[in-house]
Amino acid sequence: MEQATKKHFYHHGQTPAGAEENCHWCQIRSLPNQSTIPITIVNDVDSELLPEDFRFINAMVLGQGVEPAEDSFRSGCSCTDDGDCQYTGCLCLADLEDDDDEMNGHGRKAYAYHTHGTKAGLLRSRLQNSTVPLVVERGRTVPLQIFKTSNRGWGVRSQTPIKQGQFVDRYLGEIITAEEADRRRANSAVSQRKDVYLFALDKFTDPDSLDPRLNGPPLEVDGEFMSGPTRFINHSCNPNLRIFARVGDHADKHIHDLALFAIRDIGRGEELTFDYVDGVVDEQDEVEGVEGMTECLCGNKRNYTKEYVGSRKAAMYMKELGTAKRRAQAMNTRENTAKYGKMSGFRWPRQKRHADAQAEHLKIWFRSSVRWAVLLEDNEFTKNEIFVPIVYKEYVSVATDTILASCNATAGEMRRSVSTFFNSPVVRAAFGDFITQCASPGFKDFLESKLIHVLESLADSFNNMRLDTTSRRVPWQAAKRTRDDKLKQLALEYLVRIETWRLEGLANGKPWTFGTRSSRYQFLASTLVQLWYMEKEGCFCAREIRTSSRDWNILWDNWAEGCTRDVVTDDKLEKDVCVGVGWRPVGWLEKSSAH
Ligand SMILES: C[S@@+](CC[C@H](N)C(=O)[O-])C[C@H]1O[C@@H](n2cnc3c(N)ncnc32)[C@H](O)[C@@H]1O
């Protein structure tokens, strides 16, 4: 008898009280449907057991700070009968991503399911009378077996054949707040590893939503320590399952279900898999050796030399960030959101999609043609009658010193870059907005003593953000309850704005870099501190400016003019931007000649 089974059959009663509770067989035995559609566990490979700290559950467990809607808000499915509850019309199950058109050229995929009779739960050929929500509600449809694979730990297979379109089971776990998810990632030895167990419930996340539960960072499902058998399903680049968002109750869209459906016929005993990053496909030829990634052993490589499990998104992002394609796609998502009232589909890898939306939101907001920015321009003298350029030089030197050690540039070159950065309309306007929002009574005094502390505490979350090549969410919408949180939010917003702008330099192949990754954060943060002190000393005067205005363009032109210098390459005299500055505002030259 297997070790695992022995434990269950021989040791109960002998082990300390409560041992049954920790026994996977006992947990499984108490699941509904177990007598008719059993879950089994086998290990023909070695003597390993399922992780001891894992517990089988049959429903989502709500973590601290996660609340379902009150009963008075509950509506259930709004369709009056099964016939109305159609895939494309019913909001209970959100629609599939139209990305599929691009991906497989077969047009939009859509599934509908039989509700009654022998075909219950199976795919209909046409979109008629489907009741997908009820299919999910009814629970697992196939006897799942957790088995030990030869090279990828545990996996899952079905002991009966599965039809294309059939609902298999839900992905269960603990529903936790975004902050808690970040904490768990940070505590995990390799955050990318933790990512494979976390699913952001971001299907209906929309930065413009009026529902506070939908406009901030989404809740996440952590299946690592408590879940159903689907937690053991491995990744494949050619999967046979796909995961969908499903809403049982519209009052609880923020805690929607994650339902796994077969996307093709699956034979008895065939391993069940889904694509952890859900079909985001691109050339991966440059994706080599990203720290913390597990090499994919599914055997279905998509013509790439190497695939990574669960964190391909990071590599994808690294490659794509700043390209016109990604920006256009992100814009489309927003347009779709505005048009259809919700984000649709798992188009992007889970957490990244949310971070992208937030970052894009900021960028668009910042550039939007109707926006006003508070711009801080240099005075000639400070309050104490010190010549501002002297103060400025001082601060630029301090900022330069924080990064010089980790870059190749000379002090002179780097000082030039730093001062150009400090002077850029984006940094000035971002700081202008920061300072304006800090102007509420009492907030400023508080801010003085807290700013540095807050910036220190933000370092990790900023460095982990997906704005950068390997980063994750943008948590600036974090709780606003205390003043400290508000300050965090404002500081993060400032940092994100200048960082997203800096990163766009990548698009021109001339990144504007400031030393290493960690020194870069220090540098960005120090710009905020120093601008803050300069403002206090009276170096600036504020003026409101419309970002679509001629003035704004002139500002850019003047700034860009100041960045350039004459260089001689191959005996030719050319204008070049100063060290590290690779980006000019799109069309600034054209704008310059137009005005
Ligand atoms: C959600 S778990 C799946 C269950 C896992 N096999 C186990 O034994 O617990 C995800 C982890 O399984 C492994 N894994 C899943 N799919 C894989 C694949 N295609 N190639 C290599 N490892 C994989 C990776 O270690 C990954 O971190």
Asked if 86 contacts 333 with a C-beta cutoff of 8 angstroms, the reply is no
pLDDT tens, position by position, 45-57: 998 989 988 999 9
Catalytic residue list contains 276: yes
* Per-residue pLDDT, 197: 84
Calculate what percentage of the chain has a pLDDT beyond 70: 50
Residue 181 pLDDT level (bands cut at 50, 70, 90): confident
Pairing of β 257-262 and β 154-158: unpaired
pLDDT tens, position by position, 191-214: 456 667 888 787 777 666 667 777
The CA distance from 153 to 235, in Å, is: 12
The atom number, within ligand 1, closest to the CA of 155 reads 6
With a cut of 70, say whether residue 27 has pLDDT above it. yes
* Per-residue pLDDT, 410: 67
Lowest mean pLDDT among 29-38, 389-398, 560-569: 560-569
Q: Cβ atoms within 10 A of the Cβ of 16, count?
A: 6
Token pair of 421 as six digits: 């950065």
pLDDT tens, position by position, 458-508: 887 777 665 543 333 333 333 333 445 678 878 887 887 787 777 654 333
| 297 CB within 6 A, ligand 1 | yes
| 308 CB within 6 A, ligand 1 | no
Q: How far is the CA of 153 from the centre of ligand 1 (A)?
A: 6
Look at 568 and 452; give whichever has higher pLDDT. 452
| DSSP string for residues in 337-401 | HHHHSS--SS-S-HHHHHHHHHHHHHHHHHH-TT-EEEEEEE-SB-TT--BHHHHHHHHHHHHHH
Token pair of 129 as six digits: 């009378």
Look at 238 and 269; give whichever has higher pLDDT. 269
The CA distance from 276 to 514, in Å, is: 34
Catalytic residue list contains 171: yes
Look at 18 and 44; give whichever has higher pLDDT. 44
The CA distance from 244 to 94, in Å, is: 8
* Per-residue pLDDT, 566: 52
User: Ligand 1: which of 42, 156, 172, 196 to mutate, judged by most atoms within 8 Å of the beta carbon?
Assistant: 196
pLDDT tens, position by position, 56-114: 999 999 999 887 766 554 444 444 444 444 333 444 443 333 333 333 333 333 333 44
* Per-residue pLDDT, 146: 95
Look at 335 and 283; give whichever has higher pLDDT. 335
Look at 305 and 145; give whichever has higher pLDDT. 145
Q: Give the amino acid at 424.
A: S
Q: How far is the CA of 544 from the centre of ligand 1 (A)?
A: 53
| 540 CB within 6 A, ligand 1 | no
Look at 401 and 321; give whichever has higher pLDDT. 401
**Which of 270-279, 362-371, 394-403, 546-555 reaches the highest mean pLDDT?**
270-279
Asked if 146 contacts 161 with a C-beta cutoff of 8 angstroms, the reply is no
| 50 CB within 6 A, ligand 1 | no
The CA distance from 374 to 513, in Å, is: 26
Residue 156 pLDDT level (bands cut at 50, 70, 90): very high
Q: How far is the CA of 234 from the centre of ligand 1 (A)?
A: 5
The single residue of 87, 111, 113, 171 carrying the catalytic annotation is: 171
* Per-residue pLDDT, 327: 32
Token pair of 180 as six digits: 């808690």
The CA distance from 460 to 359, in Å, is: 18
Residue 278 pLDDT level (bands cut at 50, 70, 90): low
The CA distance from 124 to 212, in Å, is: 37
With a cut of 80, say whether residue 264 has pLDDT above it. yes
Mean predicted lDDT score pLDDT of the chain: 65
3-class SS at 361? helix
Q: How far is the CA of 561 from the centre of ligand 1 (A)?
A: 53
Average pLDDT on 135-151 reads 88
| 193 CB within 6 A, ligand 1 | yes
Task: Find all residues with CB under 8 Å of 281, minimum gap 6, and list them.
Answer: 103, 302
| 299 CB within 6 A, ligand 1 | no
| 232 CB within 6 A, ligand 1 | yes
pLDDT tens, position by position, 436-463: 877 766 666 667 678 888 888 888 777 7
Average pLDDT on 322-329 reads 32
The single residue of 111, 276, 308, 317 carrying the catalytic annotation is: 276
| 494 CB within 6 A, ligand 1 | no
* Per-residue pLDDT, 271: 96
Lowest mean pLDDT among 217-226, 250-259, 394-403, 460-469: 460-469
